[in-house]
Amino acid sequence: MKKSSLMLLIAMVMSLLAGALQASAYNDPNRPVNPVYEMTVVEANENTVTKRGFSNAIIELKNNELLLTYDDFSDIQDQSTGHISGKISTDGGRTWGTSFVVQGNIGNRNVMNQGIVRLKSGELALFFLKNDDDTHQFMYMIRSADEGRTWGDPVQLTSSAESGNQPTGNDRAVVLSSGRIVMPIFGKGPGITAGIRTVYSDDDGDTWQLGGIVDFSHLSSTAYPTEPVLVELKDHRLMMMIRTTLGKIYKAYSEDGGETWGGAIATDLNSPYTPYALKRIPDNGMGPLMLIWNNTTNPAERRPLTMAISNDEGETWTNFINLQPPSGLGVYDAAYPSVTTYRDELLIVYYTKYFYNNFANSTLPLKLQIWKLADVTAGTGFGNATALTSSVNSVESGKTFKVKYRLNSVAAAVYAQDVSVAYDPAAVEFVSATSIKSGVSLLETGTAAGEVQLILASAGAGNAVVDATDIVELTFRAKYVSQATTSEIRIDSATLADGQGIEYAAAASSFSVQIAPVVIGDLNHDNKVTIGDLALIAANYGKDSNSPDWALIEHADLNHDGKIDIEDLVLQARKIKK
């Protein structure tokens, strides 16, 4: 075979392998967890009209659907002709409907770099860049009142000056807890100092103000900061992360909602000159932060694509997992990620490369990975977790003891709970359950042999469970045992639901109690049953569970019927009779 023919054959095989690997899941045996689902969500190859998916964003719709928006370009270059398309999923991202145009091309080149948020009015807002040329790039916004099916006319956010460049990256807009919309941008224009800043709106996007600039004056003039991304911290400061040429991710803080910014600070995270995604997961103000970026010191690489979790508001990062590996057959660029939370899963979309014509041509399809939130955050202390606690760890046979059911942590505001508590009916018996959390009602207590079901609900938004707290106090009685016995009480299952009716499973827990044997009828604790014990019953004859000193004399109720009467005297007399 001629050398040229051999090289052609090798190229063809490599191209086929690249395409096959492009569609397959990256299942890495060296990483602790893997995605539960993976697919190419936007095809771009030699046979498709779409040649570039590139920037993208996903948002959850009100009717349990997901909307994906993305660049839909005729070629792979930034200056290629293109518009913004969308797809809808009705099954949590496993399948997607036919694409449709979300925003037609109103630029000389294209429209691109979209991001979607839900406004405080309930409408959707999509932000995008109108790209006319290198010196005319401005941000616009469109609204949808019907969950993304139709959209209004574009409204310009940034200056329409004769020249300027004030774009942003994809999936960048943020709605703060105050309702303010903040958009990080970069660039310059007449009367506008070049650099990184924000634009913000306090009236649902009707009017916009220009924020201050991030100070990079103490750094190299060749840092070329660009494509910032930001998140609201739990103390309501804003943290911005900024793409630079300096080999590290840089960050800056705002204490006034993006109106002014401090100086740029280097993190210890390596990064080439590529963009990032930064989100709170889930985006309810309660979860940890997630960062997705190209974690490499090679300035020419866009791989690996790595995600990490911060449980201390961006000070340190853990749980590093590669979405796309650093090398390998069929491994190419992976960048411009977006991330959203849906139920107990994370959906992460990013562009990668597909080659054809013997690697002479390439396209930029979009890949989707779906991860379990619990897998990604494992070991960080985040999530829904139950606990059973008690002030005692041992109890005498026949005595009652109390156990508290609590939520140790929650991933979303909890409005309803369905909790199953299991116990050994040979060792303990269930007596009662009472809500001890103000505003949370114990609506039903279902009982069966060895199991108690608790159905709870919060009375309105102000009473949702949003942090660690005791919920229910359960009372059990230790049964009489002939020898010391350890008995376990456990949460078999706990289903929690948030204000949108979304259900989450909480981690189970257990509590063990040591039951000490006693001589049945030995009421004065002298290790024998005699006339002295009978006298104690006689002295408290007629008392019942409503008596003020019942807790002190309950042990004289030998048949546990809630009262001390002739039946208890007879039972004790039989024990004394020789």
For each of the chain's 578 residues, which pLDDT tens digit applies?
444 444 444 444 444 444 443 334 455 666 778 999 999 999 999 999 999 999 999 999 988 899 999 999 999 999 999 999 999 999 999 999 999 999 999 999 999 999 999 999 999 999 999 999 988 888 999 999 999 999 999 999 876 554 567 788 999 999 999 999 999 998 765 555 668 999 999 999 999 998 989 998 888 888 889 999 999 999 999 999 999 999 999 999 999 999 999 999 999 999 999 999 999 988 777 789 999 999 999 988 999 999 999 989 999 999 999 998 888 777 789 999 999 998 888 999 999 999 999 989 999 999 999 998 888 988 777 777 889 999 999 998 888 999 999 998 887 889 999 999 999 999 999 999 999 999 999 999 999 989 999 999 999 989 999 888 999 999 999 998 878 999 999 999 999 988 888 787 887 889 999 999 877 777 777 778 888 888 988 999 999 989 998 877 887 888 889 999 999 888 888 888 76
Residue 545's contacts (CB-CB under 8 Å, 6 or more residues apart) are 554, 562, 563
Decide if 541 is inside a domain: yes
> Distance between CA 240 and CA 242 in Å, rounded?
6
pLDDT for position 192: 54
pLDDT for position 191: 53
Amino acid at 45: N
Structural domain count of the chain: 2
pLDDT for position 328: 74
Decide if 498 is inside a domain: yes
> Distance between CA 88 and CA 61 in Å, rounded?
9
Decide if 389 is inside a domain: yes
- Distance from the Cα of residue 449 to its chain's centroid: 37
Q: Cβ distance 513 to 486 under 8 Å?
A: yes
Q: Is the peptide bond before 304 cis (omega within 30 degrees of 0)?
A: yes
pLDDT for position 134: 85
Do 416 and 455 sit in the same domain of this protein? yes
Decide if 93 is inside a domain: no
* CB burial string 78-95: b at 16+ within 10 A, e below: bebebbbbbbbbeebbee
The structure tokens listed for 373 are 């939130």
Decide if 485 is inside a domain: yes
Do 418 and 511 sit in the same domain of this protein? yes
Do 408 and 487 sit in the same domain of this protein? yes
Do 489 and 537 sit in the same domain of this protein? no
Do 505 and 536 sit in the same domain of this protein? no
Do 497 and 399 sit in the same domain of this protein? yes
The structure tokens listed for 102 are 């979300």
Q: Which of 149, 169, 373, 415 is nearest to 283 (CA)?
A: 373
pLDDT for position 163: 54
pLDDT for position 51: 96
Do 507 and 549 sit in the same domain of this protein? no
Do 558 and 476 sit in the same domain of this protein? no
CATH number at residue 486: 2.60.40.680
Which residue range(s) make up the domain with 413?
385-516
> Distance between CA 57 and CA 172 in Å, rounded?
9
Decide if 501 is inside a domain: yes
> Distance between CA 546 and CA 120 in Å, rounded?
53
> Distance between CA 465 and CA 417 in Å, rounded?
10
Do 546 and 503 sit in the same domain of this protein? no
Decide if 72 is inside a domain: no
Do 461 and 542 sit in the same domain of this protein? no
Decide if 137 is inside a domain: no
User: What is the signed CA dihedral for 287, 288, 292, 298, rounded to 10 degrees?
Assistant: 180
Do 457 and 548 sit in the same domain of this protein? no
Residue 293's contacts (CB-CB under 8 Å, 6 or more residues apart) are 249, 269, 271, 274, 275, 276, 277, 305, 306
Do 535 and 510 sit in the same domain of this protein? no
Look-up: residue for tokens 């102000």?
462
Domain termination site, one of 466, 482, 516 = 516
> Distance between CA 384 and CA 414 in Å, rounded?
10
